[in-house]
Structure 1
Amino acid sequence: MATATLSNHSAYSAAGILSLLDENDFDLQEMALRKLDQVVDQYWAEISESVRKLESLYENEKFPNRELAALLTSKVYYHLNEFDESLQFALGAGNLFDVSKQDDDEYVNKIISKCIDTYIQTRQNNGKEDPRLTNIVERMFDRCLQEGEYKQALGIAIEARRLDKITQAIKISPNIKEMLNYTFDVAMNLIELRDFRHNVLKQLVDIYMEDKENTDYFAVTQCLTFLDDAKSVANILHQLITSNEVNDHAIAYQIGFDLHDRAPQHFLVSARDVLLQDPKAEEQETPLAKLLTVLSGEITIQHNVDFLLRHNHTDLQILNNIKSSFERNSVLHSGTITSNAFMHAGTTVDKFLRDNLEWLGKANNWAKFSATASLGVIQKGRIKDSLTILKPYLPSSGTASTASSSVYSEGGALFGLGIIHSNHLANDMTQYLLNVVSNQSADPVVQHGACFGLGLCGMATQEAELYEKMKDVMFLDNAVSGEAAAIGMGLVMLGSGDDKAIDEMLNYAHETAHEKIIRGLAMGLALTVYGREEEGNKLIDRLTNDKDPILRYGGMYAIGLAFAGTGNNNAIRKLLQVAVSDVSDDVRRAAVINLGFLLFKSPKQCPRIVSLLAESYNPHVRYGVALAVGISCAGSGLKEALDLLEPLALDRVDFVRQGALIAQSMVLMQLNEVQEPKVADFRKHLQKTWSTRAEEVMCKLGSILSAGILDAGGRNATICLHRHGNNKMRNIVGLALFTQYWFWYPYLHFLSLSLEPTSIIGLNTDLKMPSQFTFKSNQKPSMFAYPPPLKTEEEKKEVTVGPVAELSLSAKARVREERKRRRPEGSATPLLTPLTSTPTPQVDPKQLPSQPSQTDKDTKKQKKKKEPTSESLTNPARVTPSQLNFISFDTTSRYVPIKLSSSSGINLGINVLSDTKPGEDADILTPQAGQKSEEKEENEPQPPASFEWN
């Protein structure tokens, strides 16, 4: 009878089946459950009215098929969108809940997703785990492994924070090396919790080291650097450098170059201290001694200076146009000097300053301080000659100013010394600056520069003596010296999270009445929690909840620096909330700016997140949007960034336009009009802005600074905040301090810390630079070529000239002048004329007009030819970040980069080369080290003998 009823009603209703649930026979009830399970997707609404009966069957311990009742109940609640209840009954269904049906069953897919989310949340909150929940997650994990979905299994393991399953997913995969690299990328870019990320990296190190024969030492040391384990890195380096294999030496050198490029200074000091325990470290020209030189940074700095000088393509006509566009405006005068410093940063070329000494001498007071400091930007990296270069401006005896010199020049020179030696192990220079800081009777302006310089030299060293001496200066409670001392203290304690230092700085910020000192302390406190992530939340909360808006301002930078590059959702949420709610415009502006520091590893996200803020009624918020986009998208040429910045560059408020111009120049660095057609229009817009008399001074200043940023480092440098997942600490901090120019123009020079040469420099295992190292750029040359130089007014005029007779000596003189014009300019003498001196009048040589040469005609013909699709580049070569993807190396050539087959791959900067023909002679290039060597004239007659004119 029951069977007949079931047959008659199943096509139209589940009522007949549901009636069987009221029977006392377990067999009938079980049959009803099976039939209902087949039609639940169709009749779930009707079945839901009897869901209590289903629950009672599940709760009845005597019922033989409780799991089936639980499964059916779970499906009913799923259709009712009660997913929490559905999950609980699915857990009670045991193995009847089949995870293998995930692909073709929406119910299973949804419950598994809910199950994993609940399990992850429980694990992340350190709650008590439900073993039934764990069972489903592990079954899902095993299923992924069985089906070869190793990355999906790894994702589940990472989300659930199961280190055992992470290891299993990596080791069971057929390509362990690929999985290790994938896990590293996921750990660095997606894991927000710092402690768990460190645990994952430790696990990766153990797996890497299990392969004794083919250990990827580059990946291992990269992980150990993040773990701040300098001792382990030093032990690996010692193992490699004491090996009998030349290839191991090359690997050690390359790791050393990478460490100098990415690791903080205290890490390098610790690694060097371990290596110095080897008695052979004192021997000269041994592999260990060379490795110590690599870690010190001397070789990297020397070759960077050499590259920037060799390839300097600064267009002085731009600076001359800027200089002639205004008269008697101190802001634009100082901005032009700073723009020149950006254009020549690290090139050692001071031609524009030498050619305009009288104009340069117009700088007074703090403008003179800034102008002198700009020499440090230009000469950045001249660590051996820094005192000689800046000697005319430094305090006599290094402790006090003389009556005849300017304290502003002295302070600026000390700041310049810090820029030249920034983040470099320079004990002598540190002691020199420490002596100046220790002299509390020195002028506050001199101490201001000395504290900046000392902070830069001792960046992240956590040296107690440096910190205490600058604290003594701060306690003098002078607004000028106190501000710089506070910044210097933060630089020395950079990333330390030192509780004692934080308490002292925060307490004094509440005691002092000087806004400048409070602002310096606010930024100094932010620097102490750089990279600390969740560990910095304690200080962040104290700053962001403070009643003083200046300290809340520091709290915004504390968020940006503590979570730099992580894209942490909670940090983004905090900044967005403050950006629309704080009563202080300064705090709101800082909140938006620091979104750029959070998102520079995922630049496409930043324009999307701040797009609504770009339409804010508050100009400070709009300015913050501009800088945030510039910081996060620097050098990317991202279309979304340019589309957002273009309207801001036409904003009705002058300082918003200023910020938009600076941001656009950051985004367009190292790009030409072939890659991005907007570059040409932007350059024209800059020239129009600084040359238009009706334009506001603030906007003109923005255009002048933008011109310098756009052509930074002789058009061979770009803002670089990370490389291969590694945050570049010095660069990030430099850019954060640069943004403080809003209050104090000398902060502009901190931008130079964020600039990196865009080069590939090859060194052999003797750490020499062979000219035979070549490689290929698989793109047409014009794609990454330098922008064309501006034409002078004389060049724009077309002059027709007939044949002119020319003496042979005149022709040779003209050829020499042409060589000099094409050759990169360098410092002709080690000493600079003081800024206040009067230049010696010079007469420009008259150039004889000449008819077009055969070479010019051939050049025009070549231009008409079809452009090649690739070009060969020679060591050392300019390679922009966007060009790196098109670079290829011939593995059959003599020199091959040692990292070519490694997981991290080739990177910009120094690459150690493997020599496949070590017995052959090598043509070695000698670094110019900032000095211009005069060309030897061949076949020239001897000059006449000396004579007297009667």
Structure 2
Amino acid sequence: MSLTRLFFFSFIFVVGALYASCCSPARLGHHGIDGCPGIAIPPGCPSQCGSGLDAAGVISLLTEKDTAVRSYAVQQLLTLVDQFWSEISDDLIQLELLYDEPAFPDKETVALVVSKVHYYLGSLDESLHFALGAGKLFNPSSHDHYVETIIARAIDSYVAQCEALALAATSGEKPAPIDPRLTDIVQRMFAKCLKEGEYRQAIGVALEARRLDVVEQAITQGGASDSLLAYVFDAAMTIVQHIDFRNTVLRLLLRLYNNLPEPDYLSMSQCYLHLNDAAACAAMLTQLVGKSRANHTDDDHLLLAYQVAFDLEENARQDFLQRVSDHLQPSSADTEMADGNAAKDAAKAKKDPISEICTILSGKHSIKLNSEFLYRNNQADLLILKGTKEALDSRNSVFHAALSFANAFMHAGTASDKFLRENLEWLSRASNWTKFSATAALGVIHKGQVENGRAIVEPYLPQEGVSSGSQFSEGGSLFALGLIHANYAGASVLQFLTGHLKSTQSEVIQHGACLGIGVAGMASANEEVYEVLKTILFSDSAVAGEAAGLAMGLVMLGTASQRHIDEMLQYAHDTQHEKIIRGLAIGVAMIMYGREDEADALIETLKVDKDPILRYGCIYMAGMAYAGTGNNKTIRLLLHVAVSDTSDDVRRAAVTCLGFLLFHTPTQVPRLVQLLAESYNPHVRYGATLALGMSCAGTGLTEALDLLEPMTKDPVDYVRQGALIASAMILVQHNEAQSPKVAAIRKQYETIIADRHEDVTARFGSVLGQGILDAGGRNVTISMQSRNGHTNMSAVVGMTLFTQFWYWYPLTHFLSLAFTPTGLIGLNAELGMPQFDFVSNARPSLFAYPPPKKVVSETKIEKIAAAILSTTAKAKARSTKKKDGKDATAGKDGAKDAMDDTAATTTTDAGKEPAKAKKVREPTSQTLSNMQRVLPTQWPHITFPEGARFVPIKKQMLAGGITLMRDTRPADGPAEMLTYRLPAVAAAGTAGAASGAGASADSFAGEPEPPAPFEYTEEA
């Protein structure tokens, strides 16, 4: 007999003996084994009876016919499975067959054993299936890795089944029921989270699973705190992927906000905005004004009404704001006028709050305050522009246009055209489309000066009956007028622009007028303007038609109008002009802005279109429809197109649009595009640079900069250009204390610009980078989300059109729409600017302006005075033969004294060590005042001193901007107020040199103010 057989029979004998002595059926039924119910051992038998058996021995008991023995074996396997799962896996089929036996009493135990084996084998779906069969034996409260993994898998499966159920209900199909065992596990998980106070975890899962009952239960048990409600709102806008269910969540939030002792009107207004419920929003504003009237001594409700209006104006589309204003009916009862002589006293007459709210919604207050802030704090460094101008050949139109863009960005909104006034000769060299861009730059520089917008560009506007010298300046002036009124156009401005559009046959002027109409009438849904633009489109002019297509999309932004989409796509298929097709493709994409799943059908149609330009527009449609949502389905689409489409333009656009989807979570982007940044295709690499720049703009994210650094030295010129521009976007408003890379990138820009052997494209990118780094006088950042964390429509649109500069340089100006002023602008109940202080609890150098560029003076070699010898002096004295001998002696002594003084000075200067500057400890905080710059990263350090007279009406100051301030001490009398410094009338003429108008420097805006009156006393 072999040793193997001997061992086998010995093993059978031992097992039989153990079975006979300890585990016979007659002796079972006293106390449990290893704490598992269903199996008991007799008195006197060790509690770990059978523990000496290995897994194979226990498995062999499964072949026994006695049910109690097999139950015992299963119980033992449960204690061994974590250690001997590999041996047990060989008999997995036998265990599964045992689980399928209807009469077996320990099916749940078998299911748990099989589930763990499948878990260790990596078959998570099978593991979940048997875990569900384990019933109560599967304990969700356990914290081991197996339970946590299966719960995560169960949640994913439950969410998927809930989504399938909702989709089936929408499509009218018969929904498949959700497994009740899966529901039981998830329900137990919810109960555990609520019991332990993990409300956010429960809310997150409930939102994904569309369980509003759990969401409401978690909020209620959590006390409906502000932080919990804010989390639900943010989660609804980011986690929930379907608009209909998101709207349901927002309605739930509105109900919960209204149930609070003091409703959160600011958050409610954002819910109304996303629900597109202008009537309810207007009713809420009217309610706040009514409460303010009821209590004349408390301005809180009036301040809240004004704050809601300012927040809406920042985030809402023009058509929504107009509808809110239409629902607000001013009442004469709101204006309190005294009788008799008091009625004539204007100081006692209060402004009508409803009228003021309508004015705020129109944007007049916001743009005036932001313009004042940028004008006051302008820190643009003209030496940077001067150095760039000297390094570039102004006869090159690309370089001339680049410097025009950089100057416009650097002075965006500041109303300062000092650089242009000082460089009229350079400006006069602009020609053709470069002249168009130079004139349009006035719109960026004077952006927001809507009261004087027409006066600024008056010298360059087309004159009726007058044949001017340059149609390019005239077209650029119309574009500039639109940029000045960007997203704030009134009926008069649109009427003025459309009038010029209809009265000219010049395609250049039509191009500028269409762009101006588009940017000024953005999201106005004005049908009359749309029809005028359509007429220009049908003229089939390539230059004018491209701008008309873009403008049609801008005017109908976010409307998802099927009629307009059909008209534009039909003409795109009919025309032969690529420029017109591209304008229409981007225009259609903008019509679907923010519509999310409503755009899916059109995306599916266009992504397989045979025309690559329409596929290009389809990609931008996906980016704009899902902007800021991080939608996984759309991300997968973009990644697929980025590596599969036959057109380089489409692939580049697919990678670029990743930045639109993920700007709310910028830290994810470097990891996502890392492999794309190393692609063999330079268009894909270029798209990766823009995706990083757009999504990580203003963050100074080190991972993004590390990814861009090698791309600034890429062998392909336009990849270098994209990396240089993206680096500036990321580092905007950063100094060396915040990011050490700032100095290196500034030096790199200067080096590339000065290198005459460098490619024109890369030098263009460096010049733009310089302008972006110091944008808005170093007082704006680039952000596609508003201060409240919502998607900034104007910025998304501006960034979309800016990326089209690949095809058309004048579209570069649209980047200015993404500029957001960074500062605190505090207003009181009368909408005045009180003087108040607040504290930044951080080192001043951490958030200081970058130091100005130093003037590098040329080193001049000065001649050193020659030493005069005494013999030479004597000879010279004798040769003079002067009568007075003293003169000769004086000359000798003077020469000797001069020589001695020079030597003494040299010795002193050479031997003296430079004095060491004393190290002064930098303070840990600084005091700031109203209308000063506060960076986004600085807000966590901002506090208002205890006992301050003015404090924000907002409960949480997270991002600044225009903020209403409560006066805590009105009895102290009138507060000191700030006055406006921005010139009331900004005369134009800067681009006159470019247009041949010959305007003098004295007529330009930004002139210094005259000195204050003073008395002159003549001294004796």
Give the structure-1-normalised TM-score. Answer: 0.87
Shift of 1:49: 6.5
Among 564, 570, 587, the residue aligned to 1:501: 564
Among 102, 108, 118, the residue aligned to 2:157: 118
Among 305, 308, 314, the residue aligned to 2:380: 314
Contact in 1 for aligned 2:522/2:557 (Cα 8 Å): yes
1:103 paired to 2:143: yes
Give distance in 2, aligned partners of 1:14 and 1:338: 76
CA gap 1:395/1:863 in 2 versus in 1, 3 angstroms: farther
1:785 paired to 2:848: yes
Contact in 2 for aligned 1:188/1:725 (Cα 8 Å): no
Amino acid at match of 1:184: F
CA gap 1:415/1:22 in 2 versus in 1, 3 angstroms: same
Amino acid at match of 1:708: G
CA gap 1:922/1:45 in 2 versus in 1, 3 angstroms: closer
1:257 paired to 2:313: no
Amino acid at match of 1:144: C
What is the match of residue 809 of structure 1? none
What is the match of residue 521 of structure 1? 584
What is the match of residue 549 of structure 1? 612
**What is the root-mean-square deviation of aligned Cα atoms in Å?**
2.7
Shift of 1:883: 2.0
1:486 paired to 2:536: no
Among 408, 424, 441, the residue aligned to 1:374: 441
Cα deviation 1:646-683 (Å, max 9, x = unaligned): 22222222222222221111111111222223222322
Shift of 1:795: 8.7
Q: How does 1:910-925 map to 2 (within 5 A)?
A: 910-919=962-971, 920-925=973-978
Shift of 1:279: 6.5
**SS at 1:604 equivalent:** helix
Amino acid at match of 2:624: L
Give distance in 1, aligned partners of 2:74 and 2:117: 12
Amino acid at match of 1:108: V
Contact in 1 for aligned 2:335/2:351 (Cα 8 Å): no
Give distance in 2, aligned partners of 1:30 and 1:650: 70
Give distance in 2, aligned partners of 1:796 and 1:873: 40
Q: How does 1:143-222 map to 2 (within 5 A)?
A: 143-174=192-223, 176-211=225-260, 213-222=261-270
1:305 paired to 2:371: yes
**SS at 1:674 equivalent:** coil
What is the match of residue 752 of structure 1? 816
Structure 1 range deviating more: 353-362 or 553-562: 353-362
What is the match of residue 512 of structure 2? 449
1:420 paired to 2:484: yes
Q: How does 1:1-12 map to 2 (within 5 A)?
A: 2-4=19-21, 6=23, 10-12=51-53
Shift of 1:190: 3.1
What is the match of residue 881 of structure 1? 936
CA gap 1:114/1:642 in 2 versus in 1, 3 angstroms: closer
Contact in 2 for aligned 1:738/1:751 (Cα 8 Å): yes
Cα deviation 1:459-497 (Å, max 9, x = unaligned): 112222221211111011111110000000010111122
**SS at 1:462 equivalent:** coil
1:581 paired to 2:644: yes
What is the match of residue 429 of structure 1? 493
Shift of 1:72: 4.7
Shift of 1:754: 0.8
CA gap 1:502/1:26 in 2 versus in 1, 3 angstroms: same
Give distance in 2, aligned partners of 1:49 and 1:453: 74
**SS at 1:912 equivalent:** strand
Amino acid at match of 1:467: Y
Contact in 2 for aligned 1:781/1:869 (Cα 8 Å): yes
Among 804, 813, 832, the residue aligned to 1:768: 832
Cα deviation 1:187-245 (Å, max 9, x = unaligned): 2333333333332222222212111x221111222222222222222211111122234
**SS at 2:291 equivalent:** coil
Shift of 1:52: 6.0
CA gap 1:532/1:861 in 2 versus in 1, 3 angstroms: farther
Give distance in 2, aligned partners of 1:617 and 1:414: 42
Amino acid at match of 1:319: L
Give distance in 2, aligned partners of 1:863 and 1:921: 44
Contact in 1 for aligned 2:330/2:354 (Cα 8 Å): no
Shift of 1:761: 0.8
Structure 1 range deviating more: 146-155 or 514-523: 146-155
Structure 1 range deviating more: 605-614 or 163-172: 605-614
1:592 paired to 2:655: yes
What is the match of residue 359 of structure 2? 293
Contact in 2 for aligned 1:10/1:17 (Cα 8 Å): no
What is the match of residue 856 of structure 1? none
Cα deviation 1:424-454 (Å, max 9, x = unaligned): 1412111111222334x53211111111111
Q: How does 1:930-945 map to 2 (within 5 A)?
A: 930-931=983-984, 933-940=1009-1016
What is the match of residue 188 of structure 2? 139
Among 712, 729, 738, the residue aligned to 1:675: 738
Q: How does 1:902-917 map to 2 (within 5 A)?
A: 902=956, 905-917=957-969
Give distance in 1, aligned partners of 2:408 and 2:299: 42
Cα deviation 1:330-369 (Å, max 9, x = unaligned): 2211221221111111111112222233332222221111
Shift of 1:47: 5.6
Contact in 2 for aligned 1:348/1:930 (Cα 8 Å): no
Shift of 1:113: 2.8
Amino acid at match of 2:430: A
Shift of 1:770: 1.0
Contact in 2 for aligned 1:157/1:166 (Cα 8 Å): yes
Structure 1 range deviating more: 57-66 or 506-515: 57-66
Structure 1 range deviating more: 249-258 or 560-569: 560-569
What is the match of residue 93 of structure 1? 134
Structure 1 range deviating more: 69-78 or 561-570: 69-78
CA gap 1:28/1:243 in 2 versus in 1, 3 angstroms: same
Give the structure-2-normalised TM-score. Answer: 0.81
Among 268, 293, 298, the residue aligned to 2:321: 268
Among 529, 533, 546, the residue aligned to 1:466: 529
Give distance in 2, aligned partners of 1:584 and 1:608: 25
Give distance in 2, aligned partners of 1:78 and 1:320: 67
Structure 1 range deviating more: 301-310 or 593-602: 593-602
Shift of 1:422: 0.9
Q: How does 1:21-100 map to 2 (within 5 A)?
A: 30-41=71-82, 58-59=99-100, 61=102, 66-75=107-116, 77-78=118-119, 81-100=122-141
Give distance in 1, aligned partners of 2:300 and 2:735: 39
Cα deviation 1:85-132 (Å, max 9, x = unaligned): 4433433333333333x214x443343333222211111222421122
**SS at 1:580 equivalent:** helix
Give distance in 1, aligned partners of 2:643 and 2:731: 29
Q: What percent identity do the matched residue pairs reach? A: 50
1:732 paired to 2:796: yes
Structure 1 range deviating more: 679-688 or 458-467: 679-688
CA gap 1:281/1:409 in 2 versus in 1, 3 angstroms: farther
Shift of 1:311: 1.1
Shift of 1:79: 5.0
Shift of 1:713: 1.0
Contact in 2 for aligned 1:382/1:930 (Cα 8 Å): no
Give distance in 1, aligned partners of 2:968 and 2:267: 24
Q: Which of 1 and 2 has higher RCO (CA within 8 Å, sep 6+)?
A: 1
Shift of 1:599: 1.9
Contact in 1 for aligned 2:936/2:959 (Cα 8 Å): no
**SS at 2:460 equivalent:** coil
Give distance in 1, aligned partners of 2:71 and 2:766: 81
Give distance in 2, aligned partners of 1:215 and 1:114: 39
Shift of 1:643: 1.5
What is the match of residue 846 of structure 1? none
**SS at 2:522 equivalent:** coil
